[in-house]
Structure 1
């Protein structure tokens, strides 16, 4: 049920060549499974079992980390989601020194094509893999395109029902690039995921030798390798020689709430409205007619919305449709409105518009 409360409270040849360094020990090769190991997971590739190593489920969704281009120097014009999970793992044999690996292909698309159904499926699979009475896995790693990575990572953080570790990882350069960052990112992600020191920290994002909590982490640059950051809160750690080094003991935000989606079959439609000078949001009624169940205002400053837009939003709120006031700046706090006459907007607190959308869908 959507409730009107403050969210502050509710709340590839080149690839193979680049990673073909000799492993530290003899590495078991991937083998194709003829029969799925579990009816809950569509496992298509699995490493041979090594006693004493933890077990990691890699859910691949596509993205730049699985992308390919005709040129090894081209890191902008490429096809995302060209390489499957088996090739990703096989390109980094060092992975099998730190964990036994099962891989499943949830999707193989650019992250702009990730749907609510895919995200809901990943959440349910992660909970099945880690949070049951007899979990099959010790950790989950999700490979993902970077454009919407923070949305999926935050959704998992808000819906994972145990303190096991999920790491979401991507790359800023395709697998075929001469300086592809995917192999090292994947190795660091799996190594971080299976580390006991990672437990109790929520879902983590690992890229570019940095470890970031999903609740705070956001993409800050369209092209640079060091794009995922948490400006206000900072990183929680970074891999040193692939092994995670954390700056602080495990902790969770004081306002964090986890939502159980196990009985949810679909997420409601919530639209994000981008504010600007003289914004009207005239299309909200059409959105409602087409099934929108809520709106996020990506406002100016600390959630500012123009008076013309407020008129349209006041009308949809009068129909019981929730509206969250957030900020397109992506940093800072949108506080609850203390003026009752101003309307009943929900405060996004410190969540940016896309994370506010995911939380509103989960309430």
Structure 2
């Protein structure tokens, strides 16, 4: 089901490392491997059928375990994508990435890539050396997706385990299983069978060309950190430390519908009075909306909407490049 040789799209694979580029000492080992060991050429050559669906080129952006992802790599990656997609000869981008922080990178790119061409992140739950490696099939599917004309205007996507997810909605839900990525609030937007993509829905949130966030010339992102609420919460100490280290925003992984223990909340309210920081309420639950009371709106809290804490952090960082007004930031969280 490949594309005709006379009309094959041009897809660039940008490699950042991860399990898909990992090596273990045994073919049976699916843990204890070294992520980010293999280069992009090795990944491409491992899937010879890629040449049947696209003209492939590859670049190595980084080669890391994605748990070590940095803002610097994000900016480098996003700027390279924007440069490549300005070229009329480039039809789509595939990014190989570790699964630990894949959803954060995908959502960041969803907000800062300025093109309607397909951008697809892909990874693996098992290293390349495993007898049951899932990376080659995932990579094939990702290239098929990036080659699909129907994939335009969908925003940044993740292709894993024969399913396609919107970058905004997807999250990792299992430590080891290949069926780890899910979208708890919306479900997948497409599935892939033998390289053919079947779309069934789309994220309605604004993204890419309709996003106002511009990273061109940006050297760093505003510092935003996450604190967790729990019984007998003593995380005031953590907030103080983050504030002293230059944090401009805090995301609270609240309990239930975003509830914050009074020990922590009372301190945050004082900080909001002095306009020392922006505070977004998210939830540690994993899905669902976080509402604000009229009092919380007045106090200056921001609702993370239905974004999990790690994604709320991404949006708050970008929002802070535009404004520090909590009411304006609340509007941003509603739109993106």
The answer to whether the Cα contact below 8 Å between 2:20 and 2:124 also exists between their aligned partners in 1 is yes
CA distance in 2, matches of 1:341, 1:53: 52
**3-state SS, counterpart of residue 118 of structure 1:** helix
Q: Would you say 1:352 and 2:308 are equivalent positions?
A: yes
The answer to whether the 8 Å contact 1:57/1:103 transfers is yes
Q: How does 1:1-363 map to 2 (within 5 A)?
A: 52-130=7-85, 132=86, 134-248=87-201, 251-254=202-205, 258=211, 259-281=213-235, 282-317=237-272, 318-340=274-296, 343-363=299-319
Cα distance in structure 1, aligned partners of 2:258 and 2:160: 30
Give the C-alpha shift of residue 135 in structure 1. 3.8
Partners of 2:13 and 2:94 within 8 A in 1: yes
How far apart are 1:185 and its partner, in Å? Answer: 0.2
Q: Give the Cα–Cα distance (whole angstroms) in 1 for the partners of residues 169 and 284 of structure 2.
A: 15
Cα distance, 1:204 vs structure 2: 0.8
Structure 1 residue runs of 5 or longer lacking an equivalent are 1-23, 26-49
More relative contact order, 1 or 2 (CA 8 Å, 6+ apart): 1
| Mapped partners of 2:152, 2:106: distance in 1 | 16
How far apart, CA to CA, are the structure 2 residues paired with 1:140 and 1:113? 22
For 1:269 and 1:58, the matched residues in 2 are separated by: 30
Under a length normalisation based on structure 2, what TM-score does the superposition of the two structures give?
Answer: 0.89
Name whichever of 331-340 and 289-298 sits farther off.
331-340
5+ residue gaps, structure 2, are 320-336
Between stretches 200-209 and 276-285, larger displacement belongs to 276-285
Counterpart contact for 2:92–2:119, Cα < 8 Å? yes
Instruction: Return closer, same or farther for 1:340/1:62 CA change in 2, 3 Å cut-off.
Output: closer
TM-score for the superposition, normalised by structure 1: 0.82
**Residues 254 and 151 of structure 1, relative CA distance in 2, 3 Å threshold:** closer
Residues 173-197 of structure 1, C-alpha deviation per residue, up to 9 Å, x if partnerless? Answer: 0000000000000000001011001
User: Is the 1:337–1:347 contact (alpha carbons within 8 Å) kept by the matching residues of 2?
Assistant: no
Provide the alpha-carbon RMSD of the alignment: 1.9
